[in-house]
Amino acid sequence: MSKPSVAILGLGIMGSGMAGRLVSAGFPLTVYNRNREKCAPLVKQGATAVTTPREAAARSEIIISMVANDEASHSIWLGEQGALAGTTVNSLLIECSTLSAGWIHELASNAARHRCRFLDAPVTGTRPHAASGELTFLVGGSAADVVAAQPVFSVMGRETIHLGPNGSGALMKLVNNFVCGVQAASLAEALRFIEASDLDRVKALSILTSGAPGSGIVKRVADRVVNNDFAPNFALRWMAKDLSYALQEASARDVALTTVTAARSIFETAVDEGYGDEDFSAVSKFSSRSNQ
């Protein structure tokens, strides 16, 4: 069977890896990015680059967005020359960005008015997982649409988890990321405590990572600290954004996320101090240098 035509809107750290997987697998791929230079490597592999999201959607049966935040998603779908204006009836729209559930519901309503199918399908994983096709998709939408999206999900990821109706994927991704953010902020404060106590940092981190606190996130952040490597796989500013979205959604449900409030403060201060474009693990670098 012929593969469906696909568009990827947004070629950042994650979108570029996802697009690379699709074009390598032989999907007819159209790509759009505000910075056209990011399209060039994919064009060399056989993708077609266009100048507007609308044009990308008009060429594609499945349209996937992977952008920074609600504002960027609104612009790429509903802005001037936005993708929704270029869709045809029954197009499958997939929003893979980490966004607020409120915006996801609004976007789903707009998709329905255009007689399109819609999934919110944010992912877990970072740059290397996107490049190697090892993402996990957390999906909200109808079961039939999840099945229709599986040919592309299976190329870009190792697992697809259908969580319920539209908005379910977005909410689960915020829960996932706030737990990650709280752990990273906690380790950052632990590092400050360790350094203030004149403990051996390498030995202390080894104890933490090999013992009960040694979650995947704690190990990942500790490894970055030990190697002084903060090249972004997931930028610190986007973790700050995700924590804000989690607080917003929890507040709407009368849930107080007190640990998230504290973690967001740490991340936002780290952004203010100039670490926003580094990997989110750089929150440890900020916290270890503050209050000295």
Taking domain 6-165, whether its CATH number is 3.40.50.720 is answered by yes
pLDDT in the model for residue 292? 42
Measured CA distances, 6 to 19, 65, 87, 224 (Å)? 9, 11, 12, 35
Give me 205's structure tokens.
Answer: 């981190």
List the catalytic residue out of 173, 219, 241, 285.
173
Rounded distance, CA 69 to CA 247, Å? 15
Q: What global pTM score does this model have?
A: 0.96
Q: Which amino acid is at 152?
A: V
Provide the pLDDT confidence category of residue 287 given band limits of 50, 70 and 90. Answer: low
H helix runs in 88-167, sequence order: 101-113, 127-132, 143-156
Report yes or no: 8 and 22 within 8 Å, Cβ to Cβ.
yes
> Is residue 181's pLDDT more than 80?
yes
Phi-psi region of 115 (alpha: psi -120 to 50; beta: other; left: phi over 0): left
- What's the mean per-residue pLDDT of the chain? 96
- Architecture of the domain spanning 171-289: Orthogonal Bundle (1.10)
111-156 confidence digits (pLDDT tens): 999 999 999 999 999 999 999 999 999 999 999 999 999 999 999 9
| Residue ranges matching CATH 1.10.1040.10 in the chain | 171-289
For the question of residue 241 being annotated catalytic, the response is: no
